[in-house]
Amino acid sequence: MTKLTTMLSASVAAAALAAPALAETWDMPMAYSGTNFHSEVGAEFAACVTEATGGDLEIVTHPSGSLFPGNEIKRAVQTGQASIGERLISAHQNENPLYGVDSVPFLVSSFDEHEKLWEIAGPKVAEALNEENLHYLYSVPWPPQGLYFRDEVNSVADMKGVKFRSYSTATARLAELTGMLPVQIEAAEISQAFATGVADSMVSSGATGYDRKVWEHLNYFYIVDAWLPRNVVFVNNDAWDGLSDENKAAMESCAATAKANGLQRSKDYTQFTLDGLKEGGMTVTPASDTLVSELKAIGATLTDEWLESAGDVGKEIVDTYKASN
């Protein structure tokens, strides 16, 4: 009996050693629609990770806020409710001013300028995320931000009393300084908000407006190239630490590919979506000289306020960026 037990134990141990490791599955909440280029890049990244890890790790994306609403994604990953997620990082500027470095008005107005800024600011943002139990993987910029309105606007005075979709501290403050009324609305709720009159305007890229078919409710898009916010993909630190070195390297390689592809996709998508807004019936035009001048004055105020809140680190980032030009 003892000999039989020993043989059975040996067989079980041998089978365990021979059995393949069980694949691990990570859910990845995302705030934007599945057809948005950020979500498409995220899905490609997820597929890359599954292939590169030989199936050890499968990442399943959940776009449109279907797993967690946009404003809950960062907290969900921090606390381990999800292992990985994507979030518009400037939406958390109220938690740490550094998260709003990509949304300082008129500090940068082009992709090339923005990438220079992010080379300087990105590592600082990654450090801040690490302190909140998040490992920074990659990020992708949105196209330059413009202003959407239901009615024609030629000056800041025309904005007074307009209900404005805000999604961050900076956008709420922009509304306040222009006399608009800020209404907190997540990306997945944009169409309904405009359809029901909860909001009549927003600052966003052509991509968001195109994806949400805002021409069904709004009539004007003004090109102002105010800033280029970024979506950041991050991993729960405990989940990250649980990966093998090989799988970490595989994921970092896929992240580098996603960053490069996402940047190019954002550039390509810029003109495409502006053309799409026109085809939908919207007036797409540069803002008037008066409006641009007034917005830049407001932008200077917002920049000063951001620098004050961001302290020495924020000043170092901006000074280093300006010195590089």
- Whole-number pLDDT of residue 23: 83
Half-sphere exposure of 307 (CA within 13 A, CB side): 13
Which pLDDT tens digit goes with each residue over 5-18?
Answer: 444 444 444 444 44
Q: Distance from first CA to last CA of the chain, Å, rounded?
A: 81
Which pLDDT tens digit goes with each residue over 187-238?
Answer: 889 999 999 999 999 999 999 999 999 999 999 999 999 999 999 999 999 9
Helix H or strand E encompassing 52: helix 37-52
CA torsion sign for 261, 263, 268, 272 is positive
Q: Check: CB of residue 221 under 8 Å from CB of residue 107.
A: no
Ordered by start, the domain boundaries in the chain are 22-323
Residue 298, pLDDT > 60, answer yes
Q: Check: CB of residue 158 under 8 Å from CB of residue 152.
A: yes
CATH of 22-323, one of 3.40.50.2300, 3.40.190.170, 3.20.20.60, 3.40.50.1000: 3.40.190.170
Average pLDDT over residues 241-264: 98
- Whole-number pLDDT of residue 21: 52
Residue 281, pLDDT > 50, answer yes
Which pLDDT tens digit goes with each residue over 114-152?
Answer: 999 999 999 999 999 999 999 999 999 999 999 999 999
Can you give the pTM of this predicted structure? 0.88
Q: Across the chain, what does the average pLDDT equal?
A: 93
- Whole-number pLDDT of residue 159: 98
Instruction: Give the E-state strand segments of the chain in sequence order.
Output: 24-29, 57-62, 84-88, 134-141, 146-149, 163-166, 181-184, 201-204, 220-223, 230-236, 283-286
